[in-house]
Amino acid sequence: MATMTNTEVIQSWATVPRAAIESVGEEGDFLRQHLLNPTLFALLGPVEGKEILDAGCGYGYLARMLARRGARVTAVEPAESFFRYAAERERTERLGIRYVQADLSTFRDYVVTFDVVIASMVLMDIPDYLPSMQNCMDALRSGGSFIFSLAHPCFEGTEREYQDKGCVEVKEYLAEHCLPQPFGCLFHRPLSHYLNAVIQRGCAIQKVVEPKLDAAYASAAPEHVRNVHVPSFIVVHAVKLPALIEASKLTEQEQG
């Protein structure tokens, strides 16, 4: 598998033009607005007063949505172009978001433990995803929620391919590999890698959602019709439980 380091991926994302960032909707692109955002907020429930970590916040759209709903938000982003844009927005809008420029795989600079950690469309872009997931779960208080979304690793065909063929083809699923992107790289890993990482690190999976696009939206945006039939995303909600935390520590001690 062709590899990129975390530093190389971050440097690539740092080259995203400012105009490209500003062209995206205030609540994200079409699929975020109609698939990911509704799913995330349904899993979250009321967020007012909650301490939330937006892990890999990009240009900060989700952090701003959370802050406007009354959450106390810390947002972590390593790429300079995204971080600068998000920080500039905070200076003018003053929503109370604390932005930290850091690599999620090494981030430990939090002054509170969080009620919720969200990593939306982040982990499949990170070479060092296991330390990143560990840091997300370590940042949670007992009983806190870890919610993450991924490009669905079972169905990585593009929307254009679906339009041309009427299906999504899977030619290699079990082997890890890198799929080049305009910025960075999408690192394909079997879904079990992510789910087992959550379970083995002292969390219990509560719900898994594969968001489906309403056919009415697809009729207005036919380029997204695959999402009526084949999901582009998967969203996982896990909870950090004390009993599992202790069991995880014991397992690590036995293995050590």
pLDDT of residue 157: 87
pLDDT at residue 134 above 80? yes
pLDDT of residue 191: 98
**pTM of the predicted model as reported, rounded to 2 decimal places:** 0.92
Residue 143 placed within a domain: yes
CA distances from 255 to 199, 207, 248 (A): 16, 29, 11
Cα angle vertex 211, ends 136, 197, to 5°? 30
Per-residue pLDDT band at 234 (split at 50, 70, 90): very high
pLDDT in tens, 13-61: 999 999 999 999 899 999 999 999 999 999 999 999 999 999 999 999 9
Owning domain of residue 54: 6-255
pLDDT at residue 4 above 90? no
pLDDT at residue 250 above 80? no
Residue 69 placed within a domain: yes
Q: Sign (positive/negative) of CA torsion 94, 97, 103, 109?
A: positive
Residue 62 placed within a domain: yes
Q: Which of 149, 146, 159, 160 is nearest to 210 (CA)?
A: 149
Structural domains in the chain (count) = 1
Residue 203 placed within a domain: yes
pLDDT of residue 241: 86
pLDDT at residue 248 above 70? no
pLDDT in tens, 144-195: 999 999 999 999 988 889 999 999 999 999 999 999 999 999 999 999 999 9
What lies within 8 Å, CB to CB, of 165 at 6+ separation is none
Sort 33 into a burial class: Cβ within 10 Å, 0-12 / 13-18 / 19+.
middle
> Any idea what the CATH number is for the domain that residue 65 is in?
3.40.50.150
Q: Which residues of 140-156 are buried (b: 16+ CB within 10 A; e: fewer)?
A: beeebbbbbbbbbbebb
21 in Cβ contact with 87 (< 8 Å): no
Residue 107 placed within a domain: yes
pLDDT in tens, 92-124: 999 999 999 999 999 998 888 999 999 999 999
Residue 1 placed within a domain: no
SS3 116: strand
pLDDT of residue 220: 86
